[in-house]
Amino acid sequence: MTDRLTIRRPDDWHVHLRDGAMLAAVAGWTARQFARAIVMPNLTPPVTTIAAAAAYRDRIIAALPAGTAFTPLMTCYLTDAADADEIARGHGEGVFTACKLYPAHATTNSAHGVTDIFALAPVLERMQAIGMPLLVHGEVTDREVDIFDREAVFIDRTLTPLVKAFPALKIVLEHITTAEAVAFVNDAPDTVAATITPQHMLINRNAIFDGGIRPHAYCLPVAKREVHRAAVRAAATSGSPKFFLGTDSAPHGVARKEAACGCAGIFNAPIALESYAIAFDEDGALDRLEGFASEHGPRFYGLPLNDGTVTLERATVAVPAVIGEGDTAVVPFHGGETIGWRLVD
């Protein structure tokens, strides 16, 4: 039995670091675990310009102790008004690593999202030409569609034609939750990859209704049936370079989760690698965690692998029920539970 595992320093290819007091409260958790992170742009207002992304990047770095070795990789939030020149210039200047597509009204702060992705063809053509990845929140927003079907319907209605229309565009289907998404990504060209969160490897939709309504198990895309969890987990542990780590850590203050209409999002940053280790370990695939966490992502993005390592060890760890205070008090994933892995400092 492996009790200690040392892997190349990993990256988080999908995280919400927020802004202001919440940024200050959460940024260190991600920087402790990861060398780089793709930072989601769904602030209020969203990050749509080079200036806004550069300023946000500065605020992230300022929120960390001086000298912290952490590189935030910034994203541009696509809107119907997205401008190909601004996006290409931002990519060229090293400010925008990728663009994020939120279908309008799909999730938190996505009111500004895109109503018709095909209307953005000039932007997508430019991204394709310069090798800039498109990161997709893959759910339809049609309220007639059952919430558990919205990812699969998005794949049929939008993603399949999108991949056909832009065959050289790098596309990451973010936080996949279904067997349909796994099959789609596996069958797609090498330009298409997916990120996988720890929660979608560890919980199915029963967790949201376990003896009562469990707001801290609610995120978007919502966890699906067990058969889907198993398919997503098999993809993550398969060793395929198309699947890589993206936590989708999405902190919301306790009061915003425990409410009549609670926000979507699971805060997993404090125990992200530990959570992945639990799943890979249970599946006898710890030898594949390094590829998933530290190699497949940079290779897809065309970025160098990190130097240095992190070490995980088998240990009994009590995860706090709440992390932080006041408005930044957040219930973490596994809050109040005991887990079997620890990231060694």
DSSP 84: H
Task: Please report the DSSP string for 184-207 in residue order.
Answer: HHHHS-TTEEEEE-HHHHH--GGG
Residue 99 beta carbon to ligand NCD: minimum distance, rounded to whole angstroms = 14
β-pairing, 338-344 with 309-318?
antiparallel
Mask: binding to ligand NCD, 40-69, rule CB under 6 A, as x and -?
A: --x---------------------------
User: Least distance from C-beta 152 to ligand NCD, angstroms?
Assistant: 17
Q: In the complex with ligand NCD, which residue's Cβ is closer, 153 or 315?
A: 153
Left, alpha or beta for 109 (phi > 0: left; psi -120 to 50: alpha)?
left
Which among Zn ion, ligand NCD, none contacts residue 246 (Cβ within 5 to 8 A by kind)? Answer: none
Q: Write the interaction track for Zn ion spanning residues 270-289; mark x where CB under 5 A is met and - where it is not.
A: --------------------
Contact between 25 and ligand NCD by CB under 6 A: the answer reads: no
In sequence order, what DSSP letters do the residues of 269-297 get, joined into one string? GGGHHHHHHHHHHHTT-GGGHHIIIIIHH
Catalytic residue positions, numbered: 248
**Mask of contacts with Zn ion, 33-62, x by CB under 5 A?**
------------------------------
Nearer to ligand NCD, 174 or 295 (CB): 174
Bridge partner list, 244: 195
- Report CA-CA distances (Å) from 53 to 85, 88, 95, 176, 209: 15, 14, 7, 26, 38
Shortest approach of ligand NCD to residue 57 CB, angstroms? Answer: 18
Counting Cα atoms < 13 Å in the Cβ hemisphere of 259 gives 10
- E strand intervals along the chain: 4-8, 12-15, 36-39, 71-77, 96-101, 134-136, 171-173, 192-196, 243-245, 309-318, 338-344
Residue 275 sits at φ, ψ, to 5 deg, of -65, -45
Q: Which residues pair with 8 in a beta bridge?
A: 309
- Tokens coding 121: 């063809």
Q: How far is the CB of 174 from ligand NCD (least distance, A)?
A: 7
CB nearer to ligand NCD: give 183 or 222. Answer: 222
In the bound state with ligand NCD, the residue whose beta carbon lies nearer, of 180 and 248, is 248
Examine residue 137 and tell whether it contacts ligand NCD (CB under 6 A): yes
* Reduced 3-state DSSP string for 210-246: CCCCCHHHCCCCCCCCHHHHHHHHHHHCCCCCCEEEC
Q: How many CB atoms lie within 10 A of CB 336?
A: 12
- Pick one of Zn ion, ligand NCD, none as the site partner of residue 151 (Cβ within 5 to 8 A by kind): none
**Residue among 29 and 341 whose Cβ is closer to ligand NCD:** 29
Residue 211: left (phi > 0), alpha (psi -120 to 50), or beta?
A: left
Q: Between residues 108 and 275, which has the closer beta carbon with respect to ligand NCD?
A: 108
Binding mask 193-232 for Zn ion (x = CB under 5 A): ----------------------------------------
Can you tell me which of 171, 219, 269, 279 binds ligand NCD, judged by CB under 6 A?
219
Q: Residue 37 binds which entry of Zn ion, ligand NCD, none, with Cβ cut-offs from 5 to 8 Å by kind? A: none
The contact mask relative to Zn ion for 239-268 (x = CB under 5 A, - = no) is ---------x--------------------
Q: Are 300 and 241 in contact (CB under 8 A)?
A: yes
Q: Which two tokens stand for residue 127?
A: 């991204």
Q: How far is the CB of 220 from ligand NCD (least distance, A)?
A: 4
Nearer to Zn ion among residue 248 and residue 295 (C-beta)? 248
Binding residues for ligand NCD (CB under 6 A): 16, 42, 107-108, 137, 219-220, 248, 250, 264-265
Binding residues for Zn ion (CB under 5 A): 248
